[in-house]
Structures are given as C-alpha cells and as structure tokens.
Structure 1
Amino acid sequence: MKYIYYWVNERNIISHQSATIRGWKNISTHGLLKIGVDYIGFTHNKDVTFLNIYGKIITFDNVSIGRGCRFDIGGKAIVKIGKGTYINPFTKVIIMHGLEIGEYCAISWDCQFLDEDFHEIQYEGKKSSDSNIIHIGNKVWIGSNVAIYKGTTIPNGCVVASNSVVKTKFEEENVLIAGNPAKIIKRNIYW
C-alpha cells in the first residue's frame, strides 16, 4: 500500500507510508489534507514526515504538507491552515501558542516556524511580546530556508525572500520582505 488513508470521524487525510502522525485525532479537516503525497522532485520515498500533535491542527479545504516535514504542536496550541496552502518538504513547525496561515500560501522547503523561546534570557530593557502567535495572511509566498519567529505578522500578498529571519509584525500588504532581521525592500509587488 503506497498511501494510508484516514477517514475516521470526518478526518479526511491521505498520508505517505513513511509519515508518522501522533495525535491524528487532534487534526480537524474541512477538505482533504495530503501529507507527503504530492510529487516534489528532490524528495526520496523514504523521507520521513513526523507530526506530533498535542494541541490542534485545523485545515480548510485542500492543504498539502510535504515529505520530511516535522510538526510539534503543544497541548494548548492551535494551528490553522487555509485552503489551497501547501508546505513544501523539510519544513519545521514548532508551535506552543498558535499559528495561522491564510489561504493559497506557498511555503518553500526547509522553512522554520517557531513561536516559543523555550529558554528565556533576562536583560535590562528587554521588551516583552504581547502575543507569541504567528499570523500569515492570504497568498503569502515564503522562500526556502526562512525562519519565522514568535509574534510575527506577514500580511496578504507578501513575499519573503529565501534565507530571511522574520520576527516583526509587518502591516503593509504586497511587499517583498528580506534580510536578517527582515525588512521591507520592495513595495507594490504581486505574484
């Protein structure tokens, strides 16, 4: 059997046989969730996908998660992924608070989403974040090897250049974001 199909209590999930899903009962689908089944030329059929879900993942319409991805979703966390969004292989999603990804987003390979420091450093003048939740708007394209950290907001229509490190709340739509730390480098872009 090449793929494993889950349809239990209205969970509509197709998974590659090299995927391990812990907590699949914590996945709520409103459409089809494909895990490691879409063809991407640089993956191998033995690349392992691992989803460790203590919190909740909610997907809307059709969503695709690539081979080799790693998800660790904490007990109080909620991850929402909008329709038509795909996450390419080898992306890591470590969420302890929350992640919202809009509709029709393209997330390239080897990205990282992390909303928790795990080990806190104290220093004079340190500003505290009012929210750790990461918000990604609709039709956002995130290039390969991008790291997105707690409290980040990326509005609709934005593109994040490869190898960028994002830890800011951006407000302007349709901009090109790049660098470390990431900043706006072009405006009025469309893809």
Structure 2
Amino acid sequence: MIKDSYNIYKKCKQAKSVFLIVYGKYIYYRARYKLNILAHQHTTVIGIKNINTAHRLNIGVQYIGFSHPSDKTWMNIKGVLAITGNYSIGRGCRFDIGEQAKVTIGCGGYINVNTKLIIMHGLKIGDNCAIAWGCEFLDEDFHAIDYKGRIEKNKNIIIGNHVWIGAEAKIYQGTIIADGCVIASNSVVRGHFTEKNTIIGGNPAKVIKTQIQWT
C-alpha cells in the first residue's frame, strides 16, 4: 500500500496533479466500485458504474508536454466502457457513450489528450493502438436523410490491433480499419479498410502505401 501510494505521488507530481485529491478519488473508486482508477482532479466521470475493467485506468495523469493543467476531462458513460488491460486516457478528452452503446478497448496503447468519443452504437479498439491528440470518433449523424434506395448500414466502428491514428484524425460511422495500419493526421476516415499494414490518409481517406510497419 505504501509503495502504491508513493508511485501515485510520483505520477501526480509529474502530471502536475494535486496528490490528495487524486489519491482520495483513487481510494473512493476502489472502495465503492472496486475499480482501479487514477484520475486527475479535473476529471468528471458520470456513470462510473458502467466502466468494466479489472486493470489500472489512468485518466489525465500521464504527463504530456503540450497538455495544460487546467484541461478538463468529461466522461458521460450511459452504456458500457469495457477495457481489457492497463490503459491511459489523456487530459481534456470527452467521452459520450449512449445507453445502447458499448465501447471496448484492448490492452496496451493509449488515447492522447483532447480526443472525443461520441458513440451511440459501438466502438471496438484493438490491442496496442496509439491514438494521438485531438482525434474524433463519431458513429451517429443525429439527423436522417431519406432517399430512394437508402439502405440502413451498420454504424459500429472497428479498429484492429496495433493501429496508429494520427493527430486530429476523424473516424466516422461504419469504419473498419485492419491490423497494423497508420491513419495520417487530419484525415477524414469512413469506409472499410481491410488490408493490413497500410497508410491511410486524406479527405476522404484512401490507401496511400501498403506493406508498412510501424513501431
């Protein structure tokens, strides 16, 4: 317990977090919800009981040089947020997960600062995915346009394993991204990209290079 407290203190100092507030929340989450969550003092979680994880979840306490101490993280979880391993969510992120939605995140990887997840249906992020700052995941238009021959499509977003999503990329409803892919910064992605190990970029996004590897 003492070692764990000291590690939390070091993490708070690095992230310019207030130790007593962060540690107090940590103890409360463990006692009340049986969750191992370490959250920056400017973090609000609505629906914490809908988080399903047996592992450490860091929210806003991982140091990122360009984040600001006053950035606020807002998580509104009406559906389910399931995380299968230790995970870090950057400061200033916003999660809105609808009542019928499920977001599943694999082990390893991280979500960087100021990223938005607005999910009303479903989002699956594989293992060891790196999601850069300012990205957006949106699986609902919130307005319907009817036309002749319109076919209702699956709106879930599926991200494979070991995918790197560059800064300020936007991933929209129904998108599938295969394992090992890289999404270029500022891309607008919608569609099925089923070939593994490719660079995808542009607006609208398309395959730019194939047979790539990233570390």
Q: Provide TM-score, normalisation by structure 1.
A: 0.96
Preserved CA contact (<8 Å) 1:76 1:96: yes
CA distance in 1: counterparts of 2:201 and 2:54, whole angstroms: 33
- For residue 99 of structure 1, report the CA deviation from its aligned partner: 0.4
In the TM superposition, what is the alpha-carbon distance from 1:170 to its structure 2 partner? 1.0
SS at match of 1:50: strand
Name the structure 1 match of 2:183: 160
CA distance in 2, matches of 1:125, 1:162: 34
Aligned residue among 113, 126, 132 for 1:108 = 132
Question: How many Å apart are 1:121 and its aligned residue?
Answer: 1.6
Task: Name which one, 1 or 2, has greater alpha-carbon Rg.
Answer: 2
Name which of 153, 159, 174 aligns with 2:197: 174
State the match for 1:148 in structure 2: 171
Q: Which secondary structure state, in structure 2, belongs to the residue aligned with residue 185 of structure 1?
A: strand
Measured after TM superposition, the shift of residue 75 of structure 1 is 0.3
Which position in structure 2 is the counterpart of 1:83?
107
Quick one: distance in 2 between partners of 1:166 and 1:124? 25
Aligned pair 1:31/2:55, yes or no? yes
Within 1, Cα distance between the matches of 2:148 and 2:180?
37
User: Cα offset for 1:94?
Assistant: 0.3
Q: CA deviation at 1:2?
A: 4.7
Confirm or deny that 1:46 pairs with 2:70: yes
User: Which has the larger helix fraction?
Assistant: 2
Q: Provide structure 1 residue ranges, at least 5 long, that are not aligned to the other structure.
A: none
CA–CA separation in structure 2 for the residues paired with 1:182 and 1:126: 23
Q: Aligned Cα RMSD in Å? A: 1.1
Deviates further, 118-127 or 141-150: 118-127
Q: How many residues align?
A: 190
Check conservation: 1:87, 1:106, Cα contact below 8 A.
yes
Aligned positions of 1:94-105 closer than 5 A: 94-105=118-129
* Offset from partner CA, 1:10-65 (integer Å, 9 cap, x none): 31111001000000010011311110010000111111000000001001111111
- d(CA) in 1 for partners of 2:211, 2:196: 8
Secondary structure of the residue aligned to 1:79 is strand
1:45 aligned partner, one-letter code: P
Does structure 2 conserve the Cα–Cα contact (< 8 Å) formed by 1:10 and 1:29? Answer: no
Task: Looking at secondary structure, tell me which structure has more strand per residue.
Answer: 1
* Partner of residue 56, structure 1: 80
Residues in 2 aligned to 1:20 and 1:45: alpha-carbon distance in whole angstroms: 15
Letter in 2 for 1:180: N
The aligned amino acid for 1:181 is P
More deviation in 108-117 or 1-10? 1-10
Q: Runs of 4 or more off by more than 4 Å in structure 1?
A: none
Give the stretch that moved more between structures: 89-98 or 4-13: 4-13
Distance in 1 between residues matched to 2:151 and 2:101, nearest whole Å: 23
For 1:68 and 1:112, the matched residues in 2 are separated by: 13
Identity of aligned residues (%): 56
Structure 2 residue runs of 5 or longer lacking an equivalent are 1-19
